[in-house]
């Protein structure tokens, strides 16, 4: 019985291949769509457990940075003799939303990485990988933490928001793949940041455009459907007064879940495509599928350690 070929180290090509950024972005988006469609039930369960609470939390907050497009037609009046409940501080809600996002990204990245190579995608395994990946993501995100402190500065809200958005736009072309690198490569701190900056060489416009598309979609959704908690109703009006708030919450939650899920998966797929352009996936694909080859008896005189990997871009 022939022994399988040994696992061999692979040295990436120091000169990355050149691919136009629209083709790279289209290929990543198409691969992400196929990946989610191939494991639709898995990602649906993952979204229900992690992204659904995050979407409800985001929709309960006031619309970010912009006035609401319309004011509620029905206002809530507290019953006589009962003081209104004090709201949770906005800072704690923002920290809870950030924690849920990191946990969801950790699970989605682990699932997308496994599905990219055709491995079994299991919900329990993805959830069990969240604690370790969450800590790595948290340590990797620390250099960008000053952006979170901008709203606390004694500046107008619009100026603080503009500075935060400008900072994100400046960091995305360099660090947008750091989260995927932290989860896939099990690294933390400056290492994923350097890896992201290196992989995005020649693909910065693709990363920026992907971020702008999903960020704009999420921002418009929050602006149009946000503030559900403040759009309350008068109990005396019955279902007629409650229906608009319920419809806004359901539609806004569904749109947010889809946008965040596809944004996370696209980020991981773009990270894998950038690694392929740098020649780093050839050896990994060989080591992944080398044991799957069957050698026939009349193949004894042939070289068994040569494998050709062809990458087709849409």
Highest mean pLDDT range out of 10-14, 88-92, 96-100, 308-312?
Answer: 96-100
Which among 19, 75, 103, 82 has a CA at the least distance from the CA of 277? 19
CA atoms of 205 and 223, how far apart (whole Å): 26
47: DSSP letter: I
- Calculate mean pLDDT across residues 126-136: 95
- Calculate mean pLDDT across residues 36-53: 94
pLDDT band at 308 (very low <50, low <70, confident <90, very high): very low
pLDDT band at 237 (very low <50, low <70, confident <90, very high): low
Neighbours of 251 (CB within 10 A): 13
Residues contacting 171, CB < 8 A, separation 6+: 144
The model carries a pTM of: 0.78
SS3 content of the chain, % helix, strand, coil (to 5): 65, 0, 35
Confirm if 220 and 252 have CB atoms less than 8 A apart. no
At 268-287, the pLDDT tens digits run: 999 999 998 888 876 666 55
The string over 146-164, giving b where at least 16 C-beta atoms fall within 10 Å of a residue's C-beta and e elsewhere, is: ebeebbeeeeeeeebbeeb
CA atoms of 186 and 90, how far apart (whole Å): 32
CA atoms within 13 A on the CB side of 220: 8
CA atoms of 296 and 301, how far apart (whole Å): 11
Q: What is the pLDDT of residue 238?
A: 62
Mean pLDDT of the chain: 78
48: DSSP letter: I
pLDDT band at 4 (very low <50, low <70, confident <90, very high): low
CA atoms of 216 and 221, how far apart (whole Å): 8
């Amino acid at each position: 019985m022939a022994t399988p070929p040994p696992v061999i180290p692979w040295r990436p090509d120091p000169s990355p291949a050149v691919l136009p950024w629209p083709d790279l972005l289209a290929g990543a988006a198409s691969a992400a769509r196929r990946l989610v469609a191939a494991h639709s039930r898995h990602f649906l369960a993952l979204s229900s457990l992690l992204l659904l609470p995050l979407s409800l939390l985001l929709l309960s907050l006031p619309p970010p940075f912009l006035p609401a497009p319309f004011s509620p037609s029905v206002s809530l009046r507290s019953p006589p003799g009962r003081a209104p409940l004090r709201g949770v501080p906005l800072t704690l809600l923002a920290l809870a939303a950030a924690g849920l996002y990191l946990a969801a990204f950790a699970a989605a990245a682990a699932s997308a990485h496994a599905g990219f190579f055709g491995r079994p995608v299991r919900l329990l395994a993805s959830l069990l990988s969240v604690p370790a990946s969450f800590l790595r993501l948290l340590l990797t995100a620390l250099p960008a933490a000053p952006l979170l402190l901008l709203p606390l500065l004694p500046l107008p809200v619009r100026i603080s928001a503009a500075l935060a958005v400008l900072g994100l736009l400046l960091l995305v072309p360099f660090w947008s793949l750091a989260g995927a690198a932290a989860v896939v490569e099990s690294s933390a701190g400056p290492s994923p940041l350097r890896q992201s900056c290196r992989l995005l060489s020649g693909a910065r416009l693709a990363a920026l455009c992907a971020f702008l598309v999903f960020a704009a979609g999420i921002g418009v959704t929050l602006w149009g459907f946000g503030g559900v908690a403040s759009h309350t109703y008068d109990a005396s009006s019955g279902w007629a007064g409650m229906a608009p708030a319920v419809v806004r919450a359901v539609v806004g939650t569904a749109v947010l879940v889809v946008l965040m899920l596809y944004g996370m998966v696209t980020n991981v797929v773009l990270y894998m495509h950038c690694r392929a352009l740098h020649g780093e996936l050839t050896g990994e694909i060989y080591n992944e599928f080398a044991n799957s080859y069957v050698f026939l008896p009349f193949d004894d005189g042939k070289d068994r350690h040569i494998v050709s990997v062809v990458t087709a871009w849409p």
